[in-house]
Amino acid sequence: MEEKLNFKQNLLIGSLLFGLFFGAGNLIFPVQMGQAAGSNTLPATIGFLITGVGLPILGVIASALSESKSLFDMARPINSGYATFFTCALYLTIGPLFAIPRTATVAFEVGMHPFIPGQYLKLGLFIFSFIFFALTLYFSLRPGRILDWVGKYLTPIFLVLLSILLIATFVKPMGQVSEYSPQGNYMDRALFTGLLDGYNTMDALASLAFAIIIISNIKKLGVKNPHSIAIETCKSGLFSIAGMTIIYASLAYMGATSLGSVERADNGGIILSLVSNNYFGFVGKVLLAAIVGVACLKTAIGLITACAEMFSEMFPRSISYRNYAIVFTLFSFIIANFGLNNIIRLSIPVLMFLYPLAITLIILSLLAPLIHKQRDIYRWTTGLTIIAAFFDLCKALPESMQSNVVIKQIVDFAHSHLPGFDYGFGWILPAFCGFLIGLIIWGVRTKKPSLN
């Protein structure tokens, strides 16, 4: 009997995909990009869509095609030690260290900040983040109902609320995109800058974690074969891709046209607040608070669930899923109270290091049916990518650290010897060379005559 989902089930899984991916950074980064890119918003948006939409869907499909039960399983062909390191590093990054705390701080900064006097902001963040994470923990302790919570309820509510603001942007534009000059790197490298902007969503990293949730829910609907799961993920992903593409492009357009009515701002959260106030006044602030609150809550639920499930599987003898969920929630609550700016600033170097490793793992997993998870290919590709990714990490460190003599020499060396490094893609050539070396070694070993 052919295993496949009906249209309604595909739509539900697509809604779950969208709901898990679209969260805090997905709202603020495209708006900020649009305002900075100005007349070059189109190429910047294309780049953003490639890394912010395309890669996350490929990550889930790769997990299914490689028949991997988890991220650890996907990375195990390299070796178990690396698989443990990469899995922990990725989950902690999209979990309690950066992404989960960011959901609460973005919701507070964009939704609640306008209503709270300056002297009470720290207290306000403390109270808000406590309530936010209490709700997150409540839903996360019931992972079996995540398809209902996120797919059926939170995502549709979020879409309705956001649509009101986006429709206003198109019905009564604040300005014309062509009127505003691009700023900084958007002047001569808009596409590449947009590609890097897509990293900030952390969705490609999250896809390797969310894959467990997506695949398990597809299995619950009756599809068990890995190939069939990959096909149904592709079909469901079309709904998610369409929704995310429309919203990202609309948010970028909002940012690009916003200068006709509002001033330039340091982050997308402020821009969203100014735009909402411009269109709807006080009601706009309330609308934005609801939009951001729902978007961030549903992502936090997905991240806590994914992180707790992964760590409870990797270390089953330590503590249970329930206790992991509680620990990660408490830790996220503490980190959130350090503030949004600090979280974003510290996360960028980590993302520049992890993203190349995640992208190469996704590509290798997509090729798994052809290369049969051959260890030499995985190891050489990953090994050379790690070296190049380390240079990207050094380049993205805070300015105070880049003044260090050793760090400066490392970055200068990469500038001189690593093609594409200036654009943030110095890892591509080393990764490709590693893949070819591994392929050649595999071919030689395959042709080597047996001693028997």
Would the pLDDT of 412 be above 90? Answer: yes
Cβ atoms < 10 Å from Cβ of 289: 21
> Where are the alpha helices (H) located in 50-120, listed in sequence order?
55-65, 71-75, 80-92, 99-106
pLDDT category at 45 given cuts 50, 70, 90 is very high
- What is residue 23's predicted lDDT score, i.e. its pLDDT? 67
Q: Which residue do the tokens 């300056």 mark?
A: 118
Specify the long-range contacts of residues 219-222, CB closer than 8 Å, at least 24 apart: 220/147, 221/5, 221/9, 221/13, 222/3, 222/5
What is the rounded average pLDDT of the residues 379-392?
A: 96
pLDDT in tens, 280-331: 888 887 877 877 887 788 778 878 988 898 898 888 877 899 999 999 999 9
Using alpha carbons, select from 44, 41, 28, 124 the residue that is nearest to residue 341. Answer: 28
Q: What residue ranges of the chain are covered by domains with CATH 1.20.1740.10? A: 7-338
Buried b (16+ CB within 10 A) or exposed e, 305-337: bbbbbbbbebeeeeeebeebbbebbebbbebbb
Judged against a pLDDT cut of 80, whether residue 1 lies above it is answered with no
Render the burial of 407-445: b for 16+ CB within 10 Å, e for the rest: eeebbeebeeebeebeebbbbbebbeebbebbbebbeee
User: How many other CB atoms sit within 10 Å of the CB of residue 50?
Assistant: 14
Residue 298 · residue 304 · CB < 8 Å: no
What is the C-alpha to C-alpha distance for residues 29 and 53, in angstroms, rounded to an integer? 13
Q: What is the pLDDT of residues 99-149, one digit of tens each?
A: 899 889 888 888 888 788 888 989 999 999 999 999 999 888 876 665 565
Interval 2-42: pLDDT, tens = 578 888 888 888 888 887 787 666 888 999 999 999 999 99
Q: Which residue has the tokens 């922990």?
A: 88
Cβ-contact 136, 297 below 8 angstroms: yes
Paired tokens of 185 = 């790197």
Question: What is the CATH number that goes with domain 7-338?
Answer: 1.20.1740.10
The answer to whether the beta carbons of residues 275 and 174 sit under 8 Å apart is: yes
C-alpha torsion sign, points 220, 223, 226, 231? negative
With pLDDT > 90 as the criterion, what percentage of the chain qualifies? Answer: 48
- Looking at residue 403, its pLDDT comes to 84
- Cβ burial 363-400 (10 Å sphere, 16+ → b, else e): ebbbbbeebebbebbbbbbbbbbbebbbbbbbbbbeee
Q: Where are the alpha helices (DSSP H) in 315-397?
A: 321-336, 340-366, 368-371, 375-396
197, containing H or E segment: helix 190-199
Single-letter amino acid, residue 210: F
Residue 83, φ and ψ in degrees, nearest 5: -60, -40
> What are the distances in angstroms from CA 273 to CA 163, 268, 286, 356?
15, 9, 10, 33
pLDDT reported for residue 148:
61
The pLDDT tens digits of the residues spanning 226-258 come to: 788 888 888 888 888 888 999 999 999 999 999
Residue-by-residue DSSP string for 23-49: SHHHHHHHHHHHHHHGGGHHHHHHHHH
| CA count, 13 A, side-chain hemisphere, 419 | 6
